[in-house]
């Protein structure tokens, strides 16, 4: 998990145009522009690490981990501004000898697969944030959920396509895959959501029992008072007042039960961090023309 977080944070800084360098082993330094210093709660320089042992050695180092304040802020910022990126495999493809192709551009196109990164927040009394990815298998086009973020080796991909290779626009297929990815992610976390739901129900019962015990004590005292005033000159007036107080206790119970049910109700929020369209060269005509494609060997 530490490596996944490191890849995400460094990729985020790179996306924001913030230069980072590893000053020593497991200690990173980032130069923060003045306009961003408030967000990172630092000056011109932000020193940080992903290694807990290093964080314990230096007081001036920000520890970035799954539950850290800065990491949550970065993930929230990513989730609030989802980004779709299309990247192209950067190495030059070679044409197989048995392909029958006379030139590189002949009958070649980019095959697009997708990868989605999500943040899942499960709120049940306390908020729990987790990171997931849903990645398309390039062989059978199935979408698989992974309990980590999907990251790329940016040395292998570029933002610009090879102009000699046919590029089809992704069209509505990407949206369909996104919807399926959301469904697959929901199914994969259902067991965990059910676990939190059971915990919430149990906590609600425990807290309600404590409150019921308190109300029962109050009710018993009022009933005792009602019995004690049975021979009082103003018996009917006192009895009416006590009955009203007992009814108020019942209303208080209903209010408290509603409050606890809302407190321990499981609330799930799935937000997209980013989507990646991965374009890799293939030989053969693209699917839009109806023929079968064949993968080109890549260096």
* Cα–Cα distance measured from residue 49 to residue 26, given in angstroms and rounded to the nearest whole number: 6
pLDDT of residue 171: 74
Q: Where are the beta strands (DSSP E) in 190-251?
A: none
pLDDT at 152 over 90: no
Alpha-carbon gap, residue 234 to 243, rounded angstroms? 14
pLDDT grade for 3, boundaries at 50, 70 and 90: low
pLDDT of residue 134: 95
Give the pLDDT confidence of 5-41 residue by residue, as tens digits: 887 788 788 778 888 999 999 899 999 999 888 888 8
pLDDT band per the 50, 70, 90 thresholds, residue 293:
very low
Q: How many CA atoms lie within 13 A of 263 on its CB side?
A: 13
Residue 290's pLDDT is 36
pLDDT of residue 93: 55
* Calpha distance 188→191 (Å, rounded): 7
Which ranges in the chain are annotated with CATH 3.30.360.80? 1-81
pLDDT, residue 222, reads 83
pLDDT for residue 289 is more than 70: no
Q: Which pTM was predicted?
A: 0.65
pLDDT at residue 102 in the model = 53
The residue to which tokens 């009203």 are assigned: 244
pLDDT, tens digit, 9 for 90 and up, residues 44-90: 999 999 988 888 888 889 999 877 888 888 877 776 666 778 888 87
Percentage of the chain modeled with pLDDT above 70: 83
Quick one: pLDDT at residue 75? Answer: 76
At residue 111, what are phi and psi to the nearest 5 degrees? -90, 130
Tell me which of 3.30.360.80, 3.30.70.2190, 3.30.70.260, 3.40.50.300 is the CATH number of domain 1-81: 3.30.360.80
pLDDT band at 208 (very low <50, low <70, confident <90, very high): very high
> Residue 24: which residues within 8 A CB-CB, separation 6 or more?
none
> 265 is written with which tokens?
């109700």
Give long-range contacts, CB 8 A cutoff, 24+ apart: 179-188.
180/143, 181/114, 181/116, 181/134, 181/143, 182/270, 184/134, 184/143, 184/144, 184/145, 185/118, 185/120, 185/132, 185/134, 185/145, 185/270, 186/270, 188/132, 188/145
Interval 87-139: pLDDT, tens: 888 765 555 565 555 555 557 788 889 999 998 988 887 778 888 999 999 88
Which residue in this structure is represented by tokens 């895959």?
177
pLDDT digits over 216-250, tens only?
Answer: 988 888 888 777 765 555 555 577 788 888 888 88
pLDDT value at 165 more than 60: yes
User: What is the band of 145 on the pLDDT scale with cuts at 50, 70, 90?
Assistant: very high
DSSP string over 161-184: --TTSB----TTHHHHHHHHHHHH
């Amino acid at each position: 998990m530490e490596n996944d977080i490191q890849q995400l944070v460094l990729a985020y800084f790179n996306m924001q145009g913030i230069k980072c360098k590893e000053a020593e082993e497991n200690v990173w330094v980032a130069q923060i522009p003045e306009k961003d210093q408030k967000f990172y709660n630092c000056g011109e320089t932000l020193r940080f690490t992903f290694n807990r042992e290093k964080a314990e050695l230096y007081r001036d180092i920000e520890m970035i981990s799954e539950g850290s304040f800065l990491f949550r802020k970065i993930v929230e910022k990513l989730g609030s501004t989802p980004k779709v990126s299309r990247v192209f495999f950067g190495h030059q493809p070679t044409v197989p000898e048995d392909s029958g192709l006379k030139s590189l551009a002949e009958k070649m196109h980019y095959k697009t697969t997708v990868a989605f990164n999500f943040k899942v927040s499960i709120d049940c009394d306390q908020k729990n944030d987790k990171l997931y990815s849903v990645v398309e298998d390039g062989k059978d086009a199935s979408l698989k959920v992974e309990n980590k973020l999907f990251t790329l080796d940016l040395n292998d991909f570029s933002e610009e396509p090879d102009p000699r290779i046919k590029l089809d626009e992704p069209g509505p297929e990407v949206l369909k895959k996104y919807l399926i990815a959301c469904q697959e992610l929901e199914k994969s976390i259902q067991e965990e959501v059910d676990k939190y739901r059971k915990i919430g129900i149990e906590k609600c019962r425990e807290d309600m029992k404590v409150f019921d015990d308190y109300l029962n004590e109050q009710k018993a005292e009022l009933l005792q008072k009602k019995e004690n005033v049975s021979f009082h000159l103003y018996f009917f007036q006192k009895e009416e007042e006590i009955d009203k107080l007992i009814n108020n206790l019942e209303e208080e119970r209903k209010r408290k039960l509603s409050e606890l049910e809302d407190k321990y109700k499981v609330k799930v929020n799935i937000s997209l961090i980013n989507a990646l369209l991965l374009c890799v060269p293939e030989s053969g005509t693209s699917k839009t023309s109806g023929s079968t494609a064949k993968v080109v060997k890549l260096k």
